[in-house]
Structure 1
Amino acid sequence: MSLPRIAVDAMGGDEGVRVMVSGAALARRRHEQFKFLLVGDEKRIKAALDNHPNMRGSSEILHCDDVVGSDERPTQALRRAKTTSMGLAIDAVKRGDAGAAVSSGNTGALMAMSKLSLRTLPGIDRPALAALLPTLGDHDMIMLDLGANTDCDARNLVQFAIMGAAYSRIVTGQALPRVRLLNIGTEDIKGTDVLQDAAAKLRSATGLTMQFEGFVEADKISRGDVDVVVTDGFSGNIALKAVEGAARFVGDLLKRSFMSSLRSKIGFLISRPATDLLRHHLDPNNHNGAVFLGLNGVVVKSHGSANAVGVANAVAVAARLLEDNLTQRISTDLAELGEERLRETYPSGAAK
């Protein structure tokens, strides 16, 4: 299989070049066909590459020493889109020098630069940030939006559902992903007018490659009964952080319990295979790689604190989306819904 190379913002994230290059190298050890455009300080990247000989023939460096700060406002970062490692990685996708971009940098800046440079697909008003989350089922679920759009109307949520289902079919193999809207209850009468309008539209739609199953509450999203959870970015970001916090809480509580006495330490040794499996399942690095869906190009956001394993997984997500042509799938599904009819029902920018 031949894939376009992947542009990596080597300067982003908490640890920058070392982890980003190590993650790319790990991804290439798993998939020898991967090729990279490493964007960032050339001297530092070359030093990091000395530890990864498998990257020498598969990587090109685009020098840039300007970095988007982790606390920098998106509006400020946009002014330096043509000089920063993040902006140049995205621009490489726009020019066709790379098929996808991966960054661990500032999420708001990454979204703003991506939308300005790549634009959205026809029929998509706003990109959405989607990620894989672990469940008790046979596969992970997709959740979106996770912070790109804090205020959404019904039209946005319908588009998010279409994009999320297309993504789910790629990563889970489900022919008809089960889609639900995040709500305060599962009853049809629950929720805001926006949720009610979006649900009505999805229930009446025909020809979509998904199963719309109504609403889901936050405490049920990890049970394995839903493949795609759709919400606005405000609620989605809160839900995501609550899930991540609960996972850390469980891990820390188990650690504290096992160290509380000699009997507990013995119990830990006996149960270690089970606790190792739990740790692996809850480790965010094993589910790393959020995607900006709805753009004319593939952009993947790696967690800022991701280690090399996490970065490698984010790279693998980008490659998978290129291989399965996510943007074309979204465009096809949107056409099935009937974009003109959707525009008539929910004009762009109309509050619902």
Structure 2
Amino acid sequence: MSRPIVATLDLGAMRNNLQVVRQAAPHSRVWSVVKANAYGHGLDRVWSTLSTTDGFALLNLEEAILLRERGWKGPILMLEGFFHTDELPLFDKYRLTTSLHSNWQVKALANARLNAPLDVYLKMNSGMNRLGFTADRVHSIWRQLRAIANVGQLTLMAHFADAEQPGGIVEPLARIEQAAEGLDCMRSLSNSAATMWHPEAHYDWVRPGIILYGASPSGQWRDIANSGLKPVMSLRSEIIGIQNLKAGDTVGYGSRYRATGEQRIGIVAGGYADGYPRHAPDGTPVHVDGVLTRTVGTVSMDMLTVDLTPCPHAGIGSPVELWGNEVKIDDVASASGTVGYELMCALAPRVPVVLQA
């Protein structure tokens, strides 16, 4: 690799994070959510690190098949179910648990020719208003599914929109309880935030996602700083150029940043084509040569610029951490008006990835 930017995945941190989940929800089984190519980490790279999980949850049929071909024999939950009826033979072949959230899916499953019943997660809309049956339909759909020969084990599933808030699950959980009254059913309700902060919603299966990768479901690192969770992905590069500015000199496209006096800046090999957010403002945290400093100027496709005032000894080849252990991905995301999820998922294919055991 000639260009110095590289992403490092700390697999030990990932194993640790799964253990943190187990400790947070000791009486529940765990669906490790690996959608979006394991949140940008690379499903094929990391799934075996999570192989002590109870099951994997994802969206794409291709990724589910990959897990089976790599040797995973445990449960796989398709979070949005099948998108077309002609996928059902593959759900049957690879023994996938399907979510059902629409009438057409119920009908398609009832009419399918399968070798054996499929386990089903009945998706309830608890107020988020994305996918799922409304609360008043849960009982009737449940009875309908119980009468379908192609339905195996049946679980009630829902999602929380505001689980990062202290009282964020009160209303939706009450709605779920009312809808499920009288049903003898397993439940899977808890996303990362509910797994960490709402034990009353753990039930039979929790579905952690972002916390497995060491970032906060609230988007604020301070909320998980004492949790034991560790960042998995680090994005690092080097200084490849130095500029000495005088008062009035500008930096980057649009001349957004203007020096107020003499200032030394470093040019880093890393830009938005690598997955760093183009909209990161001046002052976004970055770690250079062992010192915390800040970005200046507009992020370019292949480069970004940093203030070397706090690190006068930095020069060509000095190490830079864009996010990782020293600069939390949540802090970069927060400064840029987004969330750590997006930055992880945006890691570009051109960035080399190194695995650290």
Whether TM-score is above 0.5 comes out as: no
Structure with greater strand percent: 2
Structure with greater helix percent: 1
Higher relative contact order (CA 8 A, sep 6+): 1
Provide TM-score, normalisation by structure 1. 0.28
